[in-house]
Amino acid sequence: MVKSLETPPVELLKPGVKAPVEETLLTPRFYTTDFDAVAKMDISAHEEEIRAIVDELKADYNRHHFIRDDEFKQSWDHIQGEKRRAFVDFLERSCTSEFSGFLLFKELSRRLKESNPLLSEAFEYLARDEARHAGFLNKSMADFNLSLDLSYLTKNRTYTFFPPEWVIYTVYLSEKIGYWRYILVFRHIQNHPEFQFYPLFRKFESWCQDENRHGDFFKALLRSQPQLWNNWKARLWVRFFLLTVFVTHTMTVFERSDFYEILGIHPRKYNTQVVTETNKTASRAFPVTLNTNHPYFFWYLEQCAINNQKLIELKNSKELGVVKFFKKIPVVMNIVWYMLKMYLIKPIDAEMTREAVR
């Protein structure tokens, strides 16, 4: 369980440095894993595919992409109020999650150097990309006179331990959902340039290709480990991870609907599209996917988000702690109930269709 992170005393923060937001279930997490177990992974079944992906990562197509051109060099003081708050919040969450990827990949690269040089090289390129992404977002925050103290985050954030199998499932999904989140914002802004209030969004097209490549690397890694897809246990785990990633995403989009509305994006439609596309993409790696076409699928998903909103309102209310606690119980039970109902919807067998999807 992740402990709540206390905001550091004000005197520890440098001017212009943003205090990290309070850590909750929905804030991006920092992960650690069993590095020795990853080192011992036998990837020979998909080594050729992994080598091809590593070559592509090495080619570094985006090495000139993350450059702040002239359009960034101006004052952004005209962005004020709710819009400024919502955008800075988006930058901070994105920067934290990119940075979390960087830390995990960097550590994997370092720990596998001797034992598994091919994987070590792959993780080095992944870390390079995520460092660029996080750095670019942090510079955007600097345009709003703020920056995240990344060294403070590194030292003081709680790290969650995930066994390598869980890391592979969740990182694969977070790279692919990241791809869809970025590309859908990019396409929307391309069609509606009047909503581009800051030049970051036009960078998303090539940016999301990095995430796509990262996802492909994790797909190859996953397929190289038959125990991650060829048995009933794996099928149950995959359904669980798809579900938790989609519930978390829906809760985040609903909680931050103001940000999407500022961009002229309809939050519900956006969430539905991100979830549907990510689920479809996941059929290339996972043995099963969720049935997003089930008539109640999105209704259940949104009920989880609506109940999460109730939890937030309760947390911010002025009621006594003990009253809050008892009011929380039925709301949490509702979320668990809807998640269970979704989990029990008959999944779609992806092994049968994989070759056709490819």
To Fe ion, the closest distance from the beta carbon of 183 in angstroms equals: 13
Q: Please report how many Cα atoms fall inside a 13 Å half-sphere around the Cα of residue 355, on the Cβ side.
A: 1
Nearer to Fe ion, 203 or 239 (CB): 203
Distance CA 88, CA 138 (A): 10
Q: To the nearest whole angstrom, how small is the minimum distance from the Cβ of residue 130 to Fe ion? A: 5
Q: What six digits make up the tokens of 323?
A: 């009253």
Integer Cα distance of 88 and 93 in angstroms: 9
- Rounded to the nearest 5°, which phi and psi values hold at 148? -90, 135
Taking the least distance from each CB to Fe ion, the nearer of 92 and 98 is: 98
Cβ of residue 1: shortest distance to Fe ion, in angstroms? 26
Nearer to Fe ion by C-beta: 131 or 348?
131
User: How many Å apart are CA 92 and CA 85, to the nearest integer?
Assistant: 11
Is residue 235 within 8 Å of residue 241, measured between CB atoms? no
Pair 5, 156: CB distance under 8 Å: yes
Contacts with Fe ion, residue ranges (CB under 5 A): 98, 130, 133, 175, 211, 214
| Residue 57 C-beta: closest distance to Fe ion, Å | 11
Q: Of 133 and 239, which has the nearer Cβ to Fe ion? A: 133
Closer by beta carbon to Fe ion, 18 or else 133: 133
- Tell the smallest beta-carbon distance from residue 178 to Fe ion (Å): 6
C-alpha–C-alpha distance, residues 42 and 46, integer Å: 9
Q: Nearest distance from residue 305's CB to Fe ion, in Å?
A: 24
Nearer to Fe ion, 188 or 203 (CB): 203
- Tokens 């080619």 locate to 59
Nearer to Fe ion by Cβ, of 211 and 277: the residue is: 211
- Taking the complex as a whole, how short is the minimal distance between the CB of residue 211 and Fe ion, in angstroms? 4
Helices (H), the chain: 35-39, 47-59, 81-111, 117-142, 150-156, 164-191, 204-223, 232-255, 257-262, 267-282, 297-316, 321-343, 354-357
The pair phi, psi for residue 307, each rounded to 5°, is: -65, -35
